[in-house]
Structure 1
């Protein structure tokens, strides 16, 4: 039985796309399709104009920087982890990625970039592991950045500061944010509401609050009445962009 059905959407350079839905709705499966952990059984998935089935795995993943749902760090040092995606990255590049990822705690460690990391990153908190995983992804230049529920362990203040910093850091790339927290995706250029593997709504927060009952239900379950009132406003202008990734059809 297909997990996903009738998905049609584009991820464009210079824009942020968010996917929200209940657990088991198929959000992470979409990310795995883009990395070709799975293949579509109908339709096509293209990256930079090429069907992912017609290019090598290496070529495909050269376009993508990915932060998985579970923030996993490798044993070694912080610098070793950050250079996993770009082996020749300078210390300056590593510090810049850490700053964007709101990982200022590394500057307070006695050994800084050379601080030891236990396998899995178990010597860091969940929020610290997430921020280090995000910094590792940012060190790697990419056309598409995928953040698979990568802000869930962050407090709201850090979450907001990180997303603000990302706006300029990855301004020329396409960004996909998969989330369960509605506060994380409010400013996305387009939000995809997923339920049982199907798109229930697609638009900005304001558009979905008017037209999508599934999105309204999520919003009401997570936001206070005054927050809902404050966040309902005029539609924001969409940002035109060059080609990024596209998915058509079902899985």
Structure 2
């Protein structure tokens, strides 16, 4: 706004000052005051037209300085923010260095900062090691927030989230990051090659490891068809790839990382039906021997889950297998048959 006012003032002066110069100079010339001549008056106005562009340049520099100061203020305010998630002073790692994969939520309550009510209210459930648990519910029910709490993007207000009986707040951040592999519907790819994006989670991964992970994610054939193969630059945020291709790359990256716990938050939301069916087999292969928690809208992705949790208004209102919940005629059945996504 300061810059716009300065530019506006300059535009007004650009038109007013020459007019005032001619007016005052003409009056002085007619009345014979001083030694002013028409040539002097014209030369003075010509000098003004030469000086004004330089003044405009100075004003633009002043505007850029103001804009830069405002930008730096916002950047440093962000950098100076206190990190809300901190590692405990006596944080521990998993026995043996790797999590087994048993997940528990114990009477978990959580409210976002400034919220008037809890987003999660009294949620308790267990995901045994090596099983698949699906979390479904209408939009805004709190199912994605449960994933945030497991990966400790937020800390619970009350209650506990446990992995192998250890509160996630008592784990080192590296141990927790190594235990939970997250694939979300919003993929994050770096402006680098496909290989670099894959090796971001495992720098020492061999080419054979990357090929195996991409084959499981049903993306290897597409990469091989590219002129530069795994050396292809994906572009900023992966703009050179479709939504489904980006999600499969993200899944391949998680496969390469080999975490004992998989958190799939709408991991197949950008896939077409044919690709989703192919991915279903890949995800089942990937899930073998791992604890899998999938947050989904498509009922087709939760049909084979060992248990399904139906979340409504931050609470678990139903739990069971797909067939049990369909037969119960409750919230899950309504979501499945009422023309709305689960």
**TM-score normalised by the chain length of structure 2:** 0.63
Task: Indicate the SS of the match to 1:216.
Answer: helix
1:44 to 153, 157, 160: 160
Q: Structure 1 stretches (4+) deviating beyond 4 angstroms?
A: none
Correspondent of 2:177 among 61, 66, 73: 61
Aligned positions of 1:1-251 closer than 5 A:
1-103=117-219, 104-221=221-338
Is the 8 Å Cα contact of residues 308 and 320 (structure 2) preserved in structure 1? yes
Q: Please, which runs of 5 or more residues in structure 2 have no aligned partner? A: 1-116
Bigger proportion of residues as helix: 2
Shift of 1:68: 2.0
CA distance, structure 2, for counterparts of residue 39 and residue 152 of structure 1 = 27
| Structure-2 separation of matches of 1:209 and 1:149 | 21
Task: Count how many residue pairs are aligned between Structure 1 and Structure 2.
Answer: 223
- Residues 159-168 or 108-117, more deviating: 159-168
Helix, strand or coil: the match of 1:17? Answer: strand
Measured in 1, the distance between the counterparts of 2:122 and 2:329 equals 17
State the Cα distance separating 1:212 from its structure 2 match. 4.9
Aligned to 1:25, the other structure's residue is in SS state coil
Show CA shifts across 1:106-130 (max 9, x none). 1211111111111111111111111
> 1:155-185, CA deviations, whole angstroms, 9 ceiling, x for partnerless residues?
1222122121222333111011111111111
SS in 1 for 2:267: coil
TM-score of the pair, normalised by structure 1: 0.85
SS of corresponding position for 1:209? helix
**Structure whose CA Rg is larger:** 2
In the alignment, is the contact (CA less than 8 A) between 1:182 and 1:218 conserved in 2? no
Cα pair 1:71 1:150 within 8 Å, conserved: no
Deviation sequence 1:95-151 (CA, Å, 0-9, x none):
111111111311211111111111111111111111111111110021101111110
Call closer, same or farther: CA 1:222–1:187 in 2, change over 3 Å.
Answer: farther
Partner of 1:239: none
User: Structure 1: which 5+ residue stretches go unaligned?
Assistant: 224-251
Take 1:69 and 1:75, find their aligned partners in 2: how far apart are those partners?
19
How big is the alpha-carbon RMSD for the aligned residues of Structure 1 and Structure 2? 1.4
Q: Using the alignment, how far apart are the partners of 1:111 and 1:146 within structure 2?
A: 31
